Copies of this chain bind each other. A is one copy, B any other.
């Protein structure tokens, strides 16, 4: 970012949030889901117009044979005419769409922007959805071998557990925490308390990952209304500022990397975000990590700077990650238990962080949270979006 231009950029606030419940079979179309979340956010903000729409989604071309979600959603919302865009970066689509919409408001080019994301994964066979998820990796160089996306993450888990001497029992603490947190989130996909033993005894999916290590197939949509901070008071008494929004890529495929137990994309995006916000890991009061698989959530705690490499599980085992702990983590249930409608998850995270920082998180509320961070991952760490949000102004 060139120095001479920083001062011309506007601070941006989230002034409204919306989300559908995540379900394993909504029976709703992409546009029905998106409109439900978008109208929720529009009503929350009380805005009477939006200037543009950014839609995050990963799999609509493959699963629904539907593209052109920009015009589709503008039409469904009754906003035909305005610019409307689809932005895709696999499971990080929602986080990346937010980054793009945010930049439009920061620049002054657009004023009131709807950023939403949707994914509909139910209603298809599991092999079909599994094939769709591999679109996040290199289809020709990796997908052609027959490996699945969970298989790649299983390789990460195996190497991580071996190198850092971390047991499956320890990794399983994260899904247990997420299921506990989701009990008080009415929009979560799962409302079921589980134990470490439940995780270890659940069906094997891709050794060593078992069913409860893995997020599930789900439908859902989430949305944010972004506005210049200086105008936030028109829409809300409790604005939340976005003080950093960073995207980093990494080599697309695991086999191209020197070390698969850390995601350089997470580290780069986080370091850039901390620098942009003038903050560090110690300043974060609440965090949402991309726990599509238990090992990924633990690695995230390390790659984001909250723990040394190999010791992420200690944070959870120490109780730091509970809602009343030092670093409340995945306070609405995370990808594992709130649900992971892949392209939409990045915006669920940001909506949840916004609710926390504006004291509107209801039964999921954590005490005294001023600064929150959300990390959204596309592919096997191949794209990472990090956002830092702050209560009130900057």
Residue of B nearest to A70 (CB): B89
- The segment out of A246-254, A312-320, A361-369 that lies at the interface is A246-254
- The answer to whether A107 touches B383 (Cβ under 8 A) is no
Bound complex: CA A234 to CA B80 (Å): 41
- Chain B residues contacting A80 (CB-CB under 8 Å) are 249-252
Residue of B nearest to A32 (CB): B140
What is the minimal beta-carbon distance from A253 to any residue of chain B, in angstroms? 8
Q: How many of chain A's residues touch chain B, expressed as a range?
A: 35 or more
Alpha-carbon gap, A247 to B84, bound state (A)? 8
A62 touches B62 (CB 8 A): yes
Cβ-neighbour of A5 out of B75, B107, B134, B136 (below 8 A): B107
- Is residue A145 contacting chain B, with contact meaning CB distance below 8 A? no
Question: Judging by beta carbons under 8 Å apart, are A59 and B67 in contact?
Answer: yes
**Per-residue B-contact encoding for A88-131, CB less than 8 Å = 1, 0 else:** 11100000100110011011111100000000000000000001
Contact of A65 among B72, B88, B100, B135 (CB under 8 A): B135
Taking CB atoms and an 8 Å cut-off, the chain A residues in 28-76 that contact chain B are 29, 58-62, 64-72, 74-75
A85 CB-CB contact with B under 8 Å: yes
Do A71 and B379 contact each other (CB < 8 Å), given the known contacts A5-B10, A61-B59, A249-B84? yes
Q: Which of A59, A65, A246, A253 has the most chain B CB within a 10 Å cutoff?
A: A65
> Are B134 and A65 neighbours in the complex by a CB distance under 8 Å?
yes
What's the least CB distance linking A202 to chain B, in Å? 29
Q: Nearest B residue to A97 by beta-carbon distance? A: B85
Question: Within 8 Å of chain B (Cβ to Cβ): is A201?
Answer: no
- A71 contacts across to B, CB distance below 8 A: 89-90, 249-250, 252, 378-379, 382-383
Taking a contact as CB atoms under 8 Å apart, the answer to whether B86 and A89 are in contact is yes
Decide if A68 touches B88 in the complex (CB within 8 Å): yes
Query: Which one of B60, B100, B107 contacts A85 once the chains associate, using CB atoms below 8 Å?
Result: B100
Q: A85 vs B1: C-alpha distance in the bound complex, in angstroms?
A: 18
| B9 x A72 contact (CB < 8 A) | no
The CA-CA distance from A349 to B98 in the complex, in Å, is 28
Question: Is there contact, CB below 8 Å, between A135 and B252?
Answer: no
Which chain B residues lie closer than 8 Å to A278 at the CB level?
Answer: none
- Residue-wise interface mask of A (2-18) relative to B, using a CB-CB cutoff of 8 A (1 in contact, 0 not): 10111011100000000
| Residue in B70, B75, B85, B139 whose beta carbon sits within 8 Å of that of A64 in the complex | B139
Task: Identify which of B64, B68, B110, B264 contacts A81 (C-beta below 8 A).
Answer: B264
In the complex, which residues of chain B have a beta carbon less than 8 angstroms from the beta carbon of A131? 65
Complex alpha-carbon distance, A147 and B137, angstroms: 33
Give min CB distance, A384 to chain B, whole Å: 10
Q: Are B252 and A75 in contact (CB under 8 A)?
A: yes
A383 to B69, CA, bound (A): 10
Contact with B along A367-394 (1 / 0, CB 8 A): 0000000000011001100000000000
Q: Check: A280 CB closer than 8 A to any chain B CB.
A: no
Please give the residue numbers on chain A whose beta carbons come within 8 Å of chain B beta carbons, in ascending order.
1-2, 4-6, 8-10, 29, 58-62, 64-72, 74-75, 79-90, 96, 99-100, 103-104, 106-111, 131-132, 134-140, 143, 246-253, 256, 264-265, 268, 378-379, 382-383
Pairs A–B under 8 Å by Cβ, sample size 11: A1-B110, A9-B108, A59-B61, A68-B89, A70-B383, A71-B383, A72-B252, A75-B253, A86-B89, A87-B87, A106-B109
Other than A68-B383, A74-B252, give 18 A-B pairs with Cβ distance below 8 A.
A6-B108, A8-B8, A9-B109, A58-B67, A61-B62, A62-B65, A65-B132, A67-B136, A71-B90, A71-B252, A74-B249, A75-B251, A75-B256, A80-B249, A87-B100, A100-B100, A103-B109, A106-B107
